[in-house]
Structure 1
């Protein structure tokens, strides 16, 4: 995964919500000629994947409700992440489900109508751990 795009009617509001959730500010923004924020982008996770917030008017296949594929973000603590998302106003889409040993998924609908998947994934964590540089003593 390189980039995922979520859509919002108010990109400024969505950008601020995701900044609170992620604990980082968007690193890139683009406005329309009339000055309305149309796109904000975050770099997150072990591989600095891109999370883009796009003004809904640019959505190719609009929907009246949550729709589309669900991209799951690996998290260290699923319960704490779900509690934080709920506290920020996200609504449960799918309760945590054990998919196999070390694989648990859940999803929420953010305040802007996007499905946000989160999961614990032992395979992902093992690959990420292998790619981390060793910690040198000292």
Structure 2
């Protein structure tokens, strides 16, 4: 079911400051930005490494309701929280993969959401408290196709 890492998303307080730091570390500029409803950058993404895999920084304001900030007990007034990155694994069948994860005891974290043309995500919390993201992603397929 999980074919390879499509995107690693880290939830941060300031995507622009985070991206500036990573641009210095990586020696490259981010290739993608998208603004939130208020016009501020909500998401900044780099392509890194030999496979040009995606490393994205999401404004913490847009984190799923069950996602805690470091040091938080539980966000939005409720239940158990998960923290850390959401690593999105590429899957061929997003709805079917999500259903299978839920059947096996995972709990929903973020519903199926279109992030842009060719980029659709969902995430769950596994039975051990870890966030697990799944995704259909045209860049993943492009990279796999380029290696064939």
TM-score (norm 2): 0.46
TM-score (norm 1): 0.49
